[in-house]
Structure 1
Amino acid sequence: MDKDSIEKIITGLPAFSIYKDNYFVTGVHLGETPSRNTMDAKFQFSFKQRLSNRPSGGFYPYLTYTQKSFWKVYKASSPFEESNYNPGLMMLKPVFKDKRFFGVLILGLEHESNGRDSIYSRSLNTVSLGFTRIFSPRLILSLKAWMPFLIDNNPSLPRYIGYGEGHLQWVLGKDRLFFDLTLRKGADWDFKGSVNTGVSYRISRKANQLITLQWWQGYSESLIDFKSERGMLRVGFIIKPTFYRFY
């Protein structure tokens, strides 16, 4: 596609729309007997707001917000274990090679915290640079690197979350079967980091709701216990961004 086609796609999408995946899943800690203490629910909602249809320096500005919560729904009184809040500013620039669309460059400024104080406070501020290569609507590869700042309260966070991540989305089965893989490597020369995978199936060809199976293994799934490794297998439903995913 050429520049005009990409600009029409970006500005033709709703200004307010889904950013990352929105989902509700529930499951168990791997290697432990299922019980009220080892089972939980996890949900995420995420959206973005395009601030202008006219790019500045080739960049389209977006406000973004993602919230992820962990809910001990099976315990008495169903307490929330943790919620992580992630507002940000994203600058998105389409990249062209030989006048054809090649991918997207993303600059980001983000804050993530659990909204707590004292010894339970966890927060992370980052500036980031990312690139998304859209090989086709069915195959998307994203690489993102970040630099933390103002993390005096949690200076060891990079040892567990690292300085970047890679994400692969592959769509199979006539656009009905989605495979997602996200990898992170901690900053040290050890096995800290995380693997997050998901297999999702579209309920119908016209619907944007999917049944999903997610597996998490590693550190920092939530900020409160980023130093603890966990393995989780969960099942539920997910709503994905439609059409091209430019980030």
Structure 2
Amino acid sequence: MSTFKFTTLLMFLGFFSYNSLYSQAYTREQLQDSMAQMPYFSIHKDNYFITGVPANTAINSSTANAKYQISFKQILTRSRLPLDTYLFMTYTQKSFWNIYKESLPFSDINFNPSIAIGKAIYDKEDRLSGLATVSFEHESNGRDSIASRSWNRFSLEYTTNIFKRTTASFKVWLPFGYKEGNPDLLEYVGLGQVNMSHIFKQDKLVFDLRVRKGLNFDGKGSIRTRIYFNPFDNNISNQYVMFEWFVGQAEGLLNYQESKSMIRIGYVIRTNEFRWFKGKK
């Protein structure tokens, strides 16, 4: 079965599953109270350690690897800024580690700091309908000479519920400063991405899909699917077992032109940045 058919089937099943629906999203007052109580320092994207093998080439110590990510967010001010916005910065580091080779070398490390302004969008009933973020991001692999890869971008992201238990993020970026080390990077990462996350069973089973399309008329781009499963009776720490399947290019910066199909599994502390769309239980 193709990747597209596989992910479409999972999403279809999820939309019509029988699990109970979440209540309405937070009101303006509930969201402001929640943000006032949340810590200044928190998780941004998923923090994980996963390992796996390729699905499109021979499996050996050079092609199998591990991937891990650390990501955090620091709120800079809770004071009311113009237009009810708030200022924060983030840092994400993604590493590819050849743990099956004798010397356990790192093949690629990507650094992604950003500074951003966020704003909550409310509907006519004064309930949260979306979260908008404008950010400046830098991403590089920290190397020099011919191995140097980096790019900068201004990004606009909007996150909202498209179904009761399905959250979608739509992100576009205006890139610059990328032509020296990787002049054709946009042919592989494009000008944006769509990310959808669907909850099959609350705190137990979650499906996530991210799609990027390169600036071309062929098949360049990527599809990343994830399944999160909590094997325990409770999940107060947001910990899951994660299964990930990445297909396409630009999983990392160093060899962004290389086509990959990697299947990995491991441990993840899942982000709950968008929990406000779930509403009060």
TM-score range, shorter chain: over 0.9
* Mapped partners of 1:78, 1:137: distance in 2: 44
5+ residue gaps, structure 1: none
* Mapped partners of 2:168, 2:64: distance in 1: 32
Instruction: Quote the residue 1:239 is aligned against.
Output: 269
Residue type matched to 1:126 in 2?
A: R
Structure 1 segments (4+ residues) deviating >4 Å? none
Instruction: Quote the residue 1:221 is aligned against.
Output: 251
Residue type matched to 1:164 in 2?
A: G
Deviation string, structure 1 residues 106-153 (Cα, Å, up to 9, x no partner): 101000000001110000100011100035784211000001011131
The DSSP-based 3-state class of the residue aligned with 1:51 is strand
1:66 equivalent to 2:92? Answer: yes
Which structure's residues are more often helix, by fraction? 2
The DSSP-based 3-state class of the residue aligned with 2:188 is helix
Instruction: Quote the residue 2:51 is aligned against.
Output: 26
- What TM-score do the two structures reach when normalised by structure 2? 0.84
* Mapped partners of 2:38, 2:165: distance in 1: 19
In terms of mean alpha carbon deviation, does 174-183 or 4-13 score higher?
Answer: 4-13
In terms of mean alpha carbon deviation, does 154-163 or 204-213 score higher?
Answer: 204-213
Instruction: Quote the residue 1:11 is aligned against.
Output: 36
In terms of mean alpha carbon deviation, does 121-130 or 30-39 score higher?
Answer: 30-39
1:130 equivalent to 2:157? Answer: yes
Aligned counterpart in structure 2 of residue 102 of structure 1, from 129, 142, 156: 129
Deviation string, structure 1 residues 45-70 (Cα, Å, up to 9, x no partner): 10000011123122111110000000
* Mapped partners of 1:123, 1:3: distance in 2: 39
* Mapped partners of 1:239, 1:67: distance in 2: 15
* Mapped partners of 2:225, 2:275: distance in 1: 18
The DSSP-based 3-state class of the residue aligned with 1:160 is helix
Instruction: Quote the residue 1:190 is aligned against.
Output: 218
In terms of mean alpha carbon deviation, does 136-145 or 87-96 score higher?
Answer: 136-145
Quote the offset at 1:243 in angstroms: 6.5
Which structure's residues are more often strand, by fraction? 1
Distance 1:137 1:162, change over 3 A: same
The alignment-based identity, stated in percent, is 38
* Mapped partners of 1:146, 1:174: distance in 2: 32
- What TM-score do the two structures reach when normalised by structure 1? 0.95
